[in-house]
Structure 1
Amino acid sequence: MVEIGEPVRTLAYGSWPSPVGAALAAAHDGRPDDVGFVGEEVWWTEPRPAEGGRRTLVRRHPDGTEEQVLPSPWNVRSRVIEYGGRPWAAVATDSGPLVVFVHFADQRLYACRPGGAAPRPLTPRSAVGGGLRWVEPQLRPERGEVWCVLEEFTGEGPTDVRRVPVAVPLDGSAAEDRAALRELTGERHRFVTGPRVSPDGRRAAWLAWDHPRMPWDGTELVVAGIGPDGTFQDARTVAGGPEESVAQVDWAPDGALLYASDRTGWWNLYRDGQPLCARDEEFGGPLWKLGQRWFAPLDSGPIAVLHGRGAAVLGILDPQTGEVVDAAGPWTEFAPTLAVLGERVAAVGAGPHSGYEIVELDARTGRARVIGSPHQDAVDPAYYPRPEIRTFAGPDGRDVHAHLYPPHHPGCRAPDGTLPPYVVWAHGGPTSRSPLVLDLEIAYFTSRGIGVAEVDYGGSSGHGREYRERLRGQWGVVDVEDCAAVALALAEEGTADRRRLAVRGGSAGGWTSAASLAATDVYACGTVIYPILDLTGWGTGETHDFESQYLEGLIGPYAEVPERYAERSPAEHADRVTAPFLLLQGLDDVICPPVQCERFLARMAGRGVPHAYLAFEGEGHGFRRAETMVRALEAELSLYAQVFGLERPDVPVLELKP
């Protein structure tokens, strides 16, 4: 190991020693989320990779100490729409906090008092399909209820499902009795978010949408009165529509309706239909999880907001002037989870040199500080990558946004006249983006002399609706072209070695990686992680309900263009894949199921292309267990070592079979 202060050694790119090991990267995977106030305390959920990948609930006491509220095996995580959403709520009472949460293993809603008896179930089981699932609980102690979104399977198929706001009795009377659950409104839409109740308790507002739209395509903002019996009455749509995405709704303290809509091409904030801060910036984002919050109104009138282009920073918006004052500090990216209490704002922020941590902003003074899950340097920060924000020219001169992470090591340099290998990272979604934050998986490669380029290809969020719409009907074309344009531009400008380019991605990024290997000769190898590989199968029953008609927008209506589904699919063109690849898959994945990989591998059989397939029991869509992440990361490095001709005795050799 190179010690800081020693003479700089000259070693080939990709062969540098590094203290950033796979186990270290795995231990720091994931981030805190679902922040909230319970009385004066701030609570949040936090990952535990070393404990089977569960998420726990953490509270910060007034003296600054942190305590795990729920010990193992409790796993605070919802499976509604498979990506989940806010899984807990709590209120302070004279006898201590009352907590309700969703337990991942059985998806039942539980209640408990920390330090008291074991959590008790509030909701029943169901033997039908995926059972009963819950998300966005909101405690209504005055009614003896908790209001949630219920996802109820009505059959064995992945799309045999309904969703509706429901009141769950806090006394546990529904734990064995489905009939004790009280539905708050009729079943009007395929998808709904949790209702937000107005300050006077007389109205509720929520978002809804239907197939084939995704929530970033078009949603409806629904408002209803709350009757004396607690049911919603006279529901009506007040904003949104098929081509207008409302990302979040809430109420101002004075009863005005606040929401984030992209009707101008950017998610901006509105108060009773009037714009508050008209900018070509995003004040919202794609609703991948129910309960995400990009803004939160303060009691005094201002609004805590996350906003920006290609990033989301925390600020305070004055609705009277439209001015935004950003929080000072090292955080350049905030996750879409906000909570307020008086003038206090709790958020989850990170930066290029620090991981996500719990940040509290005093809206009166503008002072922001870390109050929980603080970033701690796992290694000397001198080994961290030094990212660059770049914009490249894609086909037809279109802009392609990217983050560049060149190889970096404080004690090593490469021989003169040599160029480093680079791996192009394609993010998931595809309606997502790559945040510019410290990621030890990236440092794992850059500190060894391998560059990384994260590409926000056309279709990514954070750059306005027009940029998102570039992928409409063009998935497998625009994303592939944009990633290739970045890779080739790096080679042409002398940043990367043209012969040693790789592509990697998970989920939709796995699709882009596989499609890139099948459609281009840009890459020497690729890493394909829990991917979509066969559009025909995925679009006709091989995925979950939420994304079951996503391809209608990304590819086109299957009934009209079935040939396009086959033409774009890597599984249909295995004969075009000639570069070595690594395929990684969770066996419990219901979003991109293992059958996709198996079908692709069957068509690769006998073709002589070196490859490896690693499938992991107990893992779903997104690896959460430390041992899985270690094995996957080391296998990926071994692939690059073998293809790029690197000396890497520090990782097990991945067996590549023809």
Structure 2
Amino acid sequence: MIARIFLMSLMGLLMACSEQSDHEASKAIEAVGDEVIADALPFGSWPSIITAASLVEGSRGIGGLTKDGEYFYWLESRPEQGGRTTIMRWQPGSEPEEILDEGFNVRTRVQEYGGGSLLVHGGVLWFSNFSDQRLYRLRAGEAAVPITPETDLRYAGCSFDRQRERLLCIREDHRGMGEPVNALVALSPHEETEGTVLFSRTDFVSAPRLSPDGKHIAFVSWMHPNMPWDSTTLHSASFDEAGMLTDLRIHNPKSDESVIDPQWRDDNTLIALSDRDNWWKPYRVDGSDFTAIDTGLEHVEIGGPAWTIGGRYYWFLPDGSMVFVAREGSVETLMHLDKDGKTRELPMGAVSFGSVVYDDGQLYFTAGFADKPAALLSASLKGSVNNVIRRSSDTALDVAWVPQYEQVAFPLPTGGEAYGVYFAPKNPNAEAIPGTAPPLIVSVHGGPTSVAGVSYRPEHYYWTSRGFAVLDLNYRGSTGFGREYRRALYGQWGISDVEDAAAGATWLAEQGLADADRLIIRGGSAGGYTTLAVHAFYDAFAAGASYYGVSDIEALAEDTHKFESRYLDQLVGPYPERKDLYVERSPIHHLDGFKAPLLLLQGLDDPIVPPNQSEMIYDALKSSGVPTAYLAFEGESHGFRKAENQIAAREAELYFYARVLGLNPADELPEILIDNLD
């Protein structure tokens, strides 16, 4: 599945001739007419057309596709509008149009990560507005009207109950003094109300789905300390005359599995995804019997970690067949399982998929590609794309600037292997100095259950076009390699992920694909923690950048939001019973290990990893003499959404690496203050 020996031609290029130092290299690029003549240039100094501003200019996120009547609707996030998310609609033969006033931002904060913030039915839209977290009703061309009160309530994952003329939603109640209360509630679609509670017996409830005949509902729940990818319970119920739940059933009462994405077929058969045999895949559910649906595929994930509300991985078609997304490592494929039980790939040429809608013989969906921006497309069931409705960017790089990805596996010093995606330096206007190797950036994803994707990644090409290599790390704990690999991080956070990061960087250096003296690590959230922990416990890296990373996991255990408030019980150990482990693995308590320069970036409105996490480690490193810099961004939460802040952060990284590693980038960069740098 994953290549272990690869890119031999690149190794030949990097190691071919006699070594030369950076200061001996020519830096000139001479333009002659339309032809560019490239001299050999040091890695890290290559002039690039990919600027930090170009990464966000004209860019947009596309998701949440749905169809109602003659129109398709979707959500579109826009960094250039402060990260605002708006509502778009389109019908064949027309151009996409925005139907939401600029004063609204469609985003719910249920579980802080949101999801399921838009519902469309009968030409009416209901959406969650970010600033006040109220649900609003909207008809195109009319003013949006709130239908929930102005109080500390949040809503997500709504569906329309036709038989009872109401909305069924997940509500998160923050009005009490303790933890917020999550519940399944019924709401009037027209009048202002906070909702009637239908179910609230568990710490979390999610994914409510009505059966086609409207007589039944299915949903999942889970309890602390579990996360939805650990152990969830699948429920179904009927409704009494008053619309309350009756005949409530628990389908997996002894759950030690992650059951997600329950759906009903047209014949009212309940289907759900479970990872009970190590890989998420679909099951037909009848009482407590789970019968696997044979897809003919092995060692693939049909499913993923439910960080947000309402995610889907499969869709039923009118003829009884099913379309689903299968993930193998970092690559997704769209598959069709026909009613005769035969599975085939739909060859779209894409590497990631989402938001599938079937209509009149066509599939409409979002797709990510390896060499061009993601897009909203339509295609036939044979897999031929026939229309590009909307792209995620107004511009696309010439493929000459886009390096090919390579999935890699590398050995671990304690046995076994970990995974990643390698991107080699690529710039059509620059050549490497023979005998030299590039600086390597190890990029560590968050979660830590996320996965390094292989779709079009301009944020990586920003680096590769300047002569950096990138390893997008799939350390133990990542999704796409089965439940056992995902759980391999349990009890080992701060140990296994750190070992994997150091091992991957060292291995690439041994292959001649990275400069052993210029290894860099960067990451956000959980990836930021790994970045800090590597600096505390290893000497493998020469520099790093932590985006809203965790420096004191004990403080995080005492000061974070409900959804992840017990996650550390799994990753580290029960708190406070294993307080010793929290101290042992917190970078803030191991300042003697920090030697390499470190950049810290933090949103000041982050409720998940509060600003004090970055501030504590910054103050400590500054006092202990380690070169460090701290950039704080007003109005940013967990992840930077505003274009100006994304640009500032990217340029600050390049400036920081250049100063501390002695690189000479061709860019004119804003200076940042780096403490303790001679």
User: What is the TM-score when the length of structure 1 is the normalising length?
Assistant: 0.94
Contact 2:319 2:339 in 1 (8 A): no
Alignment length, in residue pairs? 637
Amino acid at match of 1:266: W
2:502 pairs with 1:476: no
2:196 pairs with 1:182: yes
Q: What secondary structure does 1:441 align onto?
A: helix
Question: Residue 167 of structure 2 corresponds to which residue in structure 1?
Answer: 146
Contact 1:218 1:241 in 2 (8 A): no
Question: Residue 356 of structure 1 corresponds to which residue in structure 2?
Answer: 374
Q: 2:124 aligns with which of 98, 104, 107?
A: 98
Q: What secondary structure does 2:657 align onto?
A: helix
Rounded Cα–Cα distance in structure 2 between residues aligned with 1:611 and 1:104: 34
Identity %: 38
Q: CA deviation at 1:240?
A: 6.9
2:129 pairs with 1:112: no
Cα deviations across residues 69-118 of structure 1 (Å, max 9, x unaligned)?
213121111100000011001123xxxx21110001101000011112x1
2:482 pairs with 1:464: yes
Q: What secondary structure does 1:537 align onto?
A: helix
Q: 2:531 aligns with which of 504, 513, 525?
A: 513
Q: What secondary structure does 1:653 align onto?
A: coil
Residues 524 and 29 of structure 1, relative CA distance in 2, 3 Å threshold: farther
Question: Residue 286 of structure 1 corresponds to which residue in structure 2?
Answer: 305
2:597 pairs with 1:580: yes
2:149 pairs with 1:124: yes
1:433-582 aligned within 5 A: 433-540=451-558, 542-582=559-599
Q: CA deviation at 1:243?
A: 1.6
Contact 1:434 1:455 in 2 (8 A): yes
Q: CA deviation at 1:162?
A: 0.8
Rounded Cα–Cα distance in structure 1 between residues aligned with 2:396 and 2:299: 38
Rounded Cα–Cα distance in structure 1 between residues aligned with 2:114 and 2:401: 35
Residues 589 and 104 of structure 1, relative CA distance in 2, 3 Å threshold: same
Q: CA deviation at 1:608?
A: 1.1
Cα deviations across residues 503-529 of structure 1 (Å, max 9, x unaligned)?
000000000000011110000010000
Contact 2:531 2:545 in 1 (8 A): yes
Contact 1:107 1:134 in 2 (8 A): yes
Rounded Cα–Cα distance in structure 2 between residues aligned with 1:254 and 1:62: 30
Rounded Cα–Cα distance in structure 2 between residues aligned with 1:557 and 1:69: 48
Q: CA deviation at 1:141?
A: 5.0
1:302-317 aligned within 5 A: 302-310=321-329, 311-317=331-337
Q: CA deviation at 1:345?
A: 3.1
Cα deviations across residues 396-434 of structure 1 (Å, max 9, x unaligned)?
331211100111000101111111101100000001111
Rounded Cα–Cα distance in structure 1 between residues aligned with 2:447 and 2:433: 39
Cα deviations across residues 522-545 of structure 1 (Å, max 9, x unaligned)?
0001000011111111112x1100
Contact 1:201 1:226 in 2 (8 A): no
Q: What secondary structure does 2:373 align onto?
A: strand
Amino acid at match of 1:34: G
Amino acid at match of 2:643: A
Residues 33 and 600 of structure 1, relative CA distance in 2, 3 Å threshold: same
Q: 1:605 aligns with which of 603, 607, 622?
A: 622
Contact 2:373 2:396 in 1 (8 A): no
Residues 144 and 575 of structure 1, relative CA distance in 2, 3 Å threshold: same
Q: 2:402 aligns with which of 384, 388, 393?
A: 384
Residues 228 and 339 of structure 1, relative CA distance in 2, 3 Å threshold: farther
Q: CA deviation at 1:326?
A: 1.8
Question: Residue 274 of structure 2 corresponds to which residue in structure 1?
Answer: 261
Question: Residue 42 of structure 1 corresponds to which residue in structure 2?
Answer: 72
The runs of at least 4 consecutive aligned structure 1 residues that moved more than 4 Å come to 1-4
Rounded Cα–Cα distance in structure 2 between residues aligned with 1:239 and 1:34: 29
Rounded Cα–Cα distance in structure 2 between residues aligned with 1:562 and 1:331: 46
2:45 pairs with 1:15: yes
Question: Residue 209 of structure 1 corresponds to which residue in structure 2?
Answer: 222
Question: Residue 270 of structure 1 corresponds to which residue in structure 2?
Answer: 283
2:183 pairs with 1:164: yes
Q: What secondary structure does 2:528 align onto?
A: helix
Contact 2:124 2:139 in 1 (8 A): yes
Q: What secondary structure does 2:37 align onto?
A: coil
Rounded Cα–Cα distance in structure 2 between residues aligned with 1:459 and 1:547: 16
Amino acid at match of 1:149: I
Question: Residue 90 of structure 2 corresponds to which residue in structure 1?
Answer: 60
Contact 1:64 1:371 in 2 (8 A): no
Q: What secondary structure does 1:467 align onto?
A: helix
Q: What secondary structure does 1:99 align onto?
A: strand
Amino acid at match of 2:224: H
Residues 55 and 446 of structure 1, relative CA distance in 2, 3 Å threshold: same
Contact 2:30 2:37 in 1 (8 A): no
Q: What secondary structure does 1:539 align onto?
A: helix
Q: CA deviation at 1:355?
A: 2.4
Rounded Cα–Cα distance in structure 2 between residues aligned with 1:151 and 1:173: 17
Q: CA deviation at 1:381?
A: 2.7
Residues 30 and 524 of structure 1, relative CA distance in 2, 3 Å threshold: farther
Amino acid at match of 2:663: L
Cα deviations across residues 324-382 of structure 1 (Å, max 9, x unaligned)?
222222211124x333346443322112112221133433x443344432255433331
Residues 109 and 570 of structure 1, relative CA distance in 2, 3 Å threshold: same
Q: What secondary structure does 2:527 align onto?
A: helix
Rounded Cα–Cα distance in structure 2 between residues aligned with 1:306 and 1:626: 31
Q: CA deviation at 1:236?
A: 1.4
Cα deviations across residues 51-77 of structure 1 (Å, max 9, x unaligned)?
111111111122141001213121111
Q: CA deviation at 1:125?
A: 1.8
Residues 29 and 155 of structure 1, relative CA distance in 2, 3 Å threshold: farther
Rounded Cα–Cα distance in structure 2 between residues aligned with 1:534 and 1:30: 34
Residues 439 and 333 of structure 1, relative CA distance in 2, 3 Å threshold: same
Residues 2 and 204 of structure 1, relative CA distance in 2, 3 Å threshold: farther
Q: CA deviation at 1:195?
A: 1.6
Q: What secondary structure does 1:213 align onto?
A: coil
Amino acid at match of 2:622: A
Cα deviations across residues 113-160 of structure 1 (Å, max 9, x unaligned)?
1112x100000122xxxx100001212355332221111114245xx2
Structure 1 stretches lacking a partner, 5+ long: none
Question: Residue 25 of structure 2 corresponds to which residue in structure 1?
Answer: none
Rounded Cα–Cα distance in structure 1 between residues aligned with 2:162 and 2:214: 13
Contact 2:240 2:246 in 1 (8 A): yes
Rounded Cα–Cα distance in structure 1 between residues aligned with 2:636 and 2:175: 26
Q: What secondary structure does 2:323 align onto?
A: strand
Q: What secondary structure does 1:642 align onto?
A: helix
User: What is the TM-score when the length of structure 2 is the normalising length?
Assistant: 0.91
Contact 1:196 1:249 in 2 (8 A): yes
Amino acid at match of 1:280: H
Contact 2:273 2:302 in 1 (8 A): yes
Amino acid at match of 1:186: F
RMSD: 1.7
Cα deviations across residues 233-290 of structure 1 (Å, max 9, x unaligned)?
1211113754200121100111111111001010011123211126321111110101
Contact 1:529 1:584 in 2 (8 A): yes
Structure 2 stretches lacking a partner, 5+ long: 1-28
Contact 1:36 1:346 in 2 (8 A): no
Bigger mean CA deviation after superposition, 291-300 or 349-358: 349-358
Rounded Cα–Cα distance in structure 2 between residues aligned with 1:319 and 1:2: 61
Q: CA deviation at 1:597?
A: 1.4
